[in-house]
Amino acid sequence: MTENTAQTILPGTAEKIRYHRAGDFRILSESLGELAARHPSLTPGCLGTSVLDRPIPIVTVGKDPQNRGILFLGGIHPTDQITPAVLLRFLAEYAEALESGKRMYNMQMSYLFEHRTIHVVPMLNPDGYELRRHGTPEEVVRSRLLKQNGGGNFHAWRANARGVDLWRNFTDGPDRVSDDEPVCPQGTAGLSPESEPETAAVCNYLRIMDEIGAVLSLHTLDGSIRAFSDDIYPPRSRTILRLLSRMTGCTPAALPQPPDEIGGSLTDWFIRETGKPAFECGCLTDENIRPDAPENYRTVYASFREALFSAPLLI
């Protein structure tokens, strides 16, 4: 983890926040810079760097970093064009509501700002998103990526720049693979837990920021909320799961999870490492919403809006 500094996010060059294009790393960075320039309540920084040395943006909002906090994370799979936009929109609305003295869901925003710190990582996998959108870089990795992908069309790419699915790289799981397994756009689980700089950056941040009491990981999955763990169930997990389900319309997955459903996710890592609650939210409650259609972010944000504003006070 590197020190929080605005230098990791591009200056505010965007004339208008382009939420529907937040799946483009450069546009996301510009939009975060624009928001930070408009709203001093937002503190931009760098979680770490990717395989290809791109900064992984993080934004914190809250009066005191030592206050109890929660981490919102999105942008793991490049086929997901929605969760970066959802988290960007949340940051913008939070800052605007705070500065205007607005109440959200019967909650005074100044109270939330005073007593909770929210840590937002809108795009964990900047290399993967750039690869899917712009193709292979003119670097030494080009031939390897083309071979791993089986061609030059990266539309289905879900991995990072080393061909690892970051979602499965946090812990050991039943789908851990060896280094001789063929790589495809879906990616492998990696050679070992936290083998990738992106996953290591999140884990190191959470180890240092002990004040973070919960994690909410957003994915474009099947419209369910899960809390992966094979043997540890943090206090209040079931209660929070039910409340989040009620707010979002997502179906709560039964606890405990069957062992074969544990696949190395951040949710499972955080529960095992800290004994604190963590949840994985599949945002697509409507089967007609496509994860690769960024304009659908409005529908998803409308469904998750209450949960994003309310979850920090549930911990």
pLDDT at position 183, please?
Answer: 58
pLDDT (tens digit, 9 = 90+) per residue, 24-83? 999 999 999 999 999 999 999 999 999 999 999 999 999 998 999 999 999 999 999 999
**Model pTM above 0.85:** yes
Q: Are 165 and 84 in contact (CB under 8 A)?
A: no
Share of the chain above pLDDT 90, in %: 59
Task: Output the average pLDDT for the chain.
Answer: 85
Q: Are 274 and 280 in contact (CB under 8 A)?
A: no
CA torsion, ordered 63, 69, 70, 76, to nearest 10 deg = 70
User: Hey, what domains does the chain have and what are their CATH numbers?
Assistant: 6-128+195-314 (3.40.630.10)
pLDDT (tens digit, 9 = 90+) per residue, 130-173? 999 888 776 767 888 888 877 777 888 899 999 999 998 998 75
Distance CA 159, CA 76 (A): 8
User: Quick one: average pLDDT of 249-274?
Assistant: 75
Q: SS3 letters for the chain?
A: CCCCCHHHCCCCCCCCCCHHHCCCHHHHHHHHHHHHHHCCCEEEEEEEECCCCCEEEEEEECCCCCCCEEEEECCCCCCCCCHHHHHHHHHHHHHHHHHHCCEECCEEHHHHHHHCEEEEECCCCHHHHHHHHHCCCCCCCHHHHHHHHCCCCCCCCCCCCCCECHHHCCCCCCCCCCCCCCCCCCCECCCCCCCCHHHHHHHHHHHHCCCEEEEEEEECCCCEEECCCCCCCCCCHHHHHHHHHHHHCCEECCCCCCHHHCCCCHHHHHHHHHCCCEEEEECCCCCCCCCCCHHHHHHHHHHHHHHHHHHHHHC
Q: Would you state the structure tokens that stand for residue 270, as one six-digit string?
A: 């955080």
What's the Cα-to-Cα distance from 276 to each of 88, 271, 311, rounded to whole Å? 25, 5, 14
